Chain A
Amino acid sequence: MKKAVLTLIAAATLWGYGDGAVYWAPHGCDEGKAAASKHGGHGKGESAMFALMNRDGNASAQLILPDLSAKPLSFKRNTVMLPKPPMGGYYAVVAEGNGTNTVFSAVRYLSLQGRPSKISPTKLTALSKSVLEIVPDPLHREHDRYTASKSYRFVLRFHDQVLANTAVSLQTHNTPAQTVTTDGAGKFTITLPDDFKNVRIGRSENKPSEFLLTAQYREGETLYQSSLSMPYSLNPNDYWQSQSYGAGAIFIGFLGGIFLYRRSKTKGAKRG
């Protein structure tokens, strides 16, 4: 028992978000993210600066535009600054690189405002961006965002083919890594944890957090690693919104209608 407790304490102490994985994170100094959290869903105020965490020396980065064209991004230390978006829609920030017997990649999607590109975001997700890739299935839509306590589906691809029965790790800043396994079609579903701290009433009062999906696959001597990092918001239904009261109010409204029905029948009978 004592050993188990010590192991747990050691694990909790040693655990760190994204430990070792290469992933994109909004730059801490960038105020854009804070602005985005105030009014999410349109990409207005979306962060323009991203850091490639645990970056290896030879990593390269590119921005894939909604029209599927690519623009190289240059690193300043481990950060990249996105150019002014030439069109509205969904963008992907992609980093790739390799080390000794390893190939790594990191992907992040953004929704930015501008003149619509008229190209489906499904084409952006379908586009092969790295050898091993975690792909949202589908990418959340305008007016939507990744939200705690909700489930989302992804696909794991390797060389453009789905990768079945492979472990994928999900972690957030406040919840240690948990593992899910892809099904026969390479798909897996995660439920984002409700792990926000110091929650204040009102969605705009709470900054989004980050979740990180990582996967690895070995082929021969080479280990392929990939990550997908995205922001997620707290779910008001976990805090200041009550769904059971909502259902109760609908029921009361329904009873009101039934009361009107009975009254109309009584009136009709009197008239008749």
Chain B
Amino acid sequence: MKLLSKYNRVNLITTIIVMLITGIIYYQAISWILTGQKDKNLVVEETEIFDYVKLNGHLPQTFESNDQQITFTPAAPGSVKREFINTEYFERWNKENGHKKHRNRAAGRYESGRGLVSSVTAGGNYYKILIIESKVETEDLIRLIFLITIGVILLLLLVLLITNRLILNRLWQPFYAIMSELRLFNVADTQEIAKVDTSIDEFKELNNAVVDMASRAKLDYKDLKVFTENASHELLTPIAVINSKLDTLIQTENFSDRQSKLLNDLYSAVSRLNRLNQSLLLLVKIENKLLHNREQVNLREMVEEMLMQFEEIFNGKGLNLTHTLDDKEIYASRYLVEILLSNLISNAIRHNNIGGQVSITLTNKSFIIKNTCDDEPLQDKKIFTRFHKSSNSEGSGLGLTISRQICENFGASLEYVFQQHFHVFIVTFN
């Protein structure tokens, strides 16, 4: 859930609850105050009756006013308990108007009212007094207050929704900007993360932290890159010395079998070291897009050339090569494509059994190379990582990493599938 909608939801619910509670309290308080007021009026009326009875010794004459009714009913002495009650007030229609409005003279209506039940003894007789006052005005007032409250709640909600939508969206803009910058972040890129223009402290801090982190990561990466490059270069000099000394050494001739075996081992170790070094350097360069001279390359011709180059090696291992090659042009660095093809073809030769098969298919969409094998499927996820190699491999463990990087470099993808005793590598062009 988005922060905005979450915040909106919580905000709205609390606002509604608080408003409702306030409304109820408000309602209760006002009706309590108004009822108290009514009760006071009733008591005044009662006192007037008591005073009248004390003075005159008989009940006062009752008359009906707009909002007050007083009735006396004889009752058994002592049977009436003084109390305030909520009751109904029967309003007779006003004679002048009501007559016109309603044919029936007895017509009227019930309104809610507040009553006081009391008792008085007049002329030796015990009477129950019932004084009722209409509460219609009070209720009108309360209704009005209630409506105003509801109106305020609705207005507030509306305002909240609009402001949330407009202001919060704008407020969070820097956050989304930082997010998209982070998503685009790439340590190998030279581009810095842009400063987000915002006046909000939290976002400023976030932005600063992100910018700091990015530049630190870039610096570390650059250091590592420079280190790899320098280390590789520095390694090359001693390797060159060893190689040249070996070349000089074999000129002295007259070696025993044992010595020549040792020398051969030295040679192959040095050349392996050299290849590893070159691969590392190459990887650094591809990853940093330092090889960018692209040209139109005819893949079919290159594959054919390479197969001719490897002819003896195919024959040496008794491999059976089948290929169907369509014309396919790609726009890429010739040097890198050569390395890619050479890596894939040499893998197919290296990890093959004697007398096995290699099949190469080049179409407009893809380049597929298959080779037979005895072993299990390779681990899809791991084979493209650096220095991962199968136990019997003599390669550097960088070949497939380099191949994948090259493919990405010219917008193709490299995938591996295992099909019934065949390792299959597929380069899909875009």
Q: Do A and B bind each other?
A: no
Which residues from chain A sit less than 8 Å from chain B, CB to CB? none
